[in-house]
């Protein structure tokens, strides 16, 4: 399968390890990720300013994918939510579609909402890819206790995702974690926000939200936390040192992107997965998993 690879803004700037690991896992599974040079921001940051301006930005990206006859795959949950919300509105509101296309006509583009928008995680969940993962496992994760953070935008608004799963009782990431031989650890506050949404204007609230979840994860006995959104990683991985210093506590929970853990199970070199770029060091975790 070929997909237009939509990175958004945060990944190139702050989460190259997410991109690196996804590319390596895609390669191992025979998935082609196509870089289209004209993609821009998904439009999400503009929603609070003007929803139609934000929608026009999103629609432009969808139009580019349609010009190339490709569906979009994204790693960022906010991009995933924003682009799907836009596609839903384009397909269900003819007057809105006309207004957006009138705006896009100024740059010689048009959109129909044909290209689907998929999260990389949900690509992994396709039966063919799950089977390839099972058949390709080279490293026994030995029941590694892992905590999952689904985040907000991966699951909501659920109606634009064709009700893929119950956002209050999600299981999709569980299925992948269990398939590769790790053990999912349940913990208090699993569905809580990472705090990233308020980080820019209320750092104290954001830090306290992240601290609460990280402590709950540690107390539950997890040896790693898995995320599928770059900004959740900013809160838990990049922000962990700040939290430890501010509150004079030690957490020490490695925060991995899902493709990093999947890639380890497939025997991919940790450096190729960007493990050396994680803020919280993964050395002890790698020694436990790889036995070296």
What's the rounded Cα separation, in Å, for the pair 276 and 123? 25
Regions of the chain with pLDDT less than 50: none
How many other CB atoms are found less than 10 A from the CB of residue 106?
Answer: 7
Do the beta carbons of residue 135 and residue 213 sit within 8 Å?
no
> Would you kindly state where each structural domain of the chain is located, as residue ranges?
2-120, 132-290
Strands (E), the chain: 2-6, 32-34, 71-74, 117-119, 145-149, 183-184, 224-227, 255-257
Pick the CATH number of 2-120 from 3.40.50.2300, 1.10.630.10, 1.20.1050.140, 2.40.50.140: 1.20.1050.140
User: What is the C-alpha end-to-end distance of the chain, expressed in Å?
Assistant: 35
Give the model confidence (pLDDT) of 131-163 as tens digits.
Answer: 999 999 999 999 999 999 999 999 999 999 876
pTM: 0.97
Predicted pLDDT of residue 291: 84
Predicted pLDDT of residue 276: 98
DSSP-H helix ranges across 93-126? 94-104, 120-124
Predicted pLDDT of residue 219: 98
Class of domain 132-290: alpha beta
Predicted pLDDT of residue 93: 98
Predicted pLDDT of residue 282: 98
């Amino acid at each position: 399968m070929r997909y237009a690879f939509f990175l958004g803004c945060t990944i190139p700037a702050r989460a190259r390890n997410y991109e690196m690991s996804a590319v390596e896992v895609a390669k191992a599974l025979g998935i082609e990720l196509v870089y289209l040079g004209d993609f821009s921001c998904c439009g999400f940051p503009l929603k609070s300013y003007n929803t139609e301006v934000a929608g026009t930005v999103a629609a432009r990206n969808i139009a580019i994918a349609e010009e190339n006859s490709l569906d979009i795959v994204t790693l960022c949950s906010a991009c995933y939510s924003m682009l799907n919300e836009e596609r839903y509105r384009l397909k269900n509101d003819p007057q809105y579609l006309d207004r957006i296309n009138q705006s896009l006509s100024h740059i010689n583009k048009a959109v129909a909402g044909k290209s689907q928008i998929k999260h990389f995680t949900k690509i992994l969940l396709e039966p063919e890819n799950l089977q390839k993962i099972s058949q390709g496992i080279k490293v026994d994760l030995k029941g590694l206790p892992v905590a999952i953070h689904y985040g907000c935008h991966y699951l909501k608004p659920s109606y634009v995702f064709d009700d893929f799963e119950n956002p209050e009782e999600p299981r999709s990431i569980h299925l992948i974690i269990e398939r590769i031989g790790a053990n999912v650890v349940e913990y208090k506050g699993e569905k809580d926000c990472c705090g990233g949404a308020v980080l820019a204007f209320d750092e104290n609230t954001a830090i306290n939200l992240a601290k609460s979840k990280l402590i709950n994860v540690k107390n539950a006995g997890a040896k790693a936390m898995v995320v599928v959104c770059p900004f959740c990683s900013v809160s838990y991985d990049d922000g962990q040192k700040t939290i430890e210093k501010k509150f004079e506590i030690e957490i020490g929970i490695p925060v991995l992107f899902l493709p990093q853990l999947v890639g380890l199970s497939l025997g991919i070199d940790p450096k190729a997965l960007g493990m050396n770029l994680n803020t919280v060091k993964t050395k002890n975790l790698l020694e436990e998993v790889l036995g070296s």
